């Protein structure tokens, strides 16, 4: 019997790159939050063995190279199970968009199989498995707003609640390679001097808090990102920022009504994907 699960998108409220590591990755300090844009994931078990992942309408890596397939394979191995798993992903989160869709799908597969196989693994153990699949996967298992450090896999809860806001996510329908962005990022190490600024306690406070070091690479390569930011502010957003490596941009709105009005206006006038979402 198949069961359906929801895999949320994330946004980076803050992304600071602190320096490059000897292993080629970058040390980061990020603040991340899940929002109410979801992929739908249907999972079924069988006696046949093997893992199959389907994603209608989206070209995905074949077989074991797909991150959702690797997640299923990793958990079956951990469980010592020879059952077969079929995963069907209905994509609503744009691909290569800075919203963590693939990582969220993988995390959801881990959580779902832990439940369906009655494994009873604690979240900490699932996060450990997730860290072998991708840096953002543990965050989607942690599943609450978090400060993420290291390569993004060292997580801690926020020390205070963020103000209740709505966001408008805008995606221009292009893909941006995360690897390309980091390869073109020139930086001076600031591990010793960096301090995470105080968290916003009002809607207006977001304009001072939001920051993304990767904008200085993505915007020159994809000027539409700057155009989206300007359009969101013109539609009443209190602040606007690119999420992750882009190209998705989010605007901060005080309430649902203003967020939905802005998303409808931008979708209608610009032809971009624009959706109003709330924190989850």
Residue 171 burial (CB count, 10 A): 23
192 is catalytic: no
10 is catalytic: yes
Active-site residue, from 10, 78, 91, 229: 10
Output the CA–CA distances (angstroms, integers) from residue 168 to 56, 124, 222, 250, in the order listed. Answer: 26, 32, 20, 5
119: tokens are 């494994």
> What sign results for the dihedral spanned by CA atoms 243, 248, 249, 250?
negative
Active-site residue, from 16, 136, 153, 229: 136
- Concatenating the DSSP letter of every residue in 204-238 gives TTHHHH-EETTHHHHHHH-THHHHHHHHHHHTT-S
Task: Report how far residue 273's alpha carbon sits from residue 91's, in angstroms, rounded to the nearest whole number.
Answer: 14
Report the catalytic residues: 10, 136
């Amino acid at each position: 019997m198949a069961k359906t699960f929801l895999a949320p998108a994330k946004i980076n409220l803050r992304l600071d790159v602190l320096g490059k590591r000897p292993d080629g990755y970058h040390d980061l300090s990020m603040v991340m939050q899940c929002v109410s844009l979801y992929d739908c994931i249907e999972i079924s078990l069988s006696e046949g063995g093997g893992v199959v992942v389907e994603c209608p309408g989206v070209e995905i890596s074949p077989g074991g190279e797909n991150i959702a397939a690797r997640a299923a394979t990793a958990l079956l191995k951990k469980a010592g199970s020879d059952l077969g798993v079929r995963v069907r992903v209905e994509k609503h989160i744009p691909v290569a968009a800075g919203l963590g869709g693939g990582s969220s799908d993988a995390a959801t597969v881990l959580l779902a199989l832990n439940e369906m196989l009655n494994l009873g693994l604690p979240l900490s153990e699932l996060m450990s498995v997730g860290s072998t699949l991708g840096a953002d996967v543990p965050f989607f298992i942690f599943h609450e707003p978090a400060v993420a450090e290291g390569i993004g896999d060292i997580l801690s809860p926020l020390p205070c609640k963020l103000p209740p806001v709505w966001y408008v996510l805008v995606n221009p329908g292009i893909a941006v390679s995360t690897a390309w962005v980091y390869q073109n990022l020139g930086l001076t190490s600031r591990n010793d001097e960096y301090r995470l600024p105080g968290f916003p306690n009002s809607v207006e406070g977001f304009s001072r808090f939001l920051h993304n070091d990767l904008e200085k690479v993505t915007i020159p390569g994809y000027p539409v990102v700057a155009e989206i930011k300007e359009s969101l502010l013109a539609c009443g957003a209190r602040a606007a920022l690119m999420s992750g490596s882009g190209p998705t941009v989010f605007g901060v709105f005080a309430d649902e009504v203003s967020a939905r009005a802005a998303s409808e206006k931008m979708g209608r006038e610009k032809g971009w994907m624009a959706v109003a979402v709330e924190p989850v």
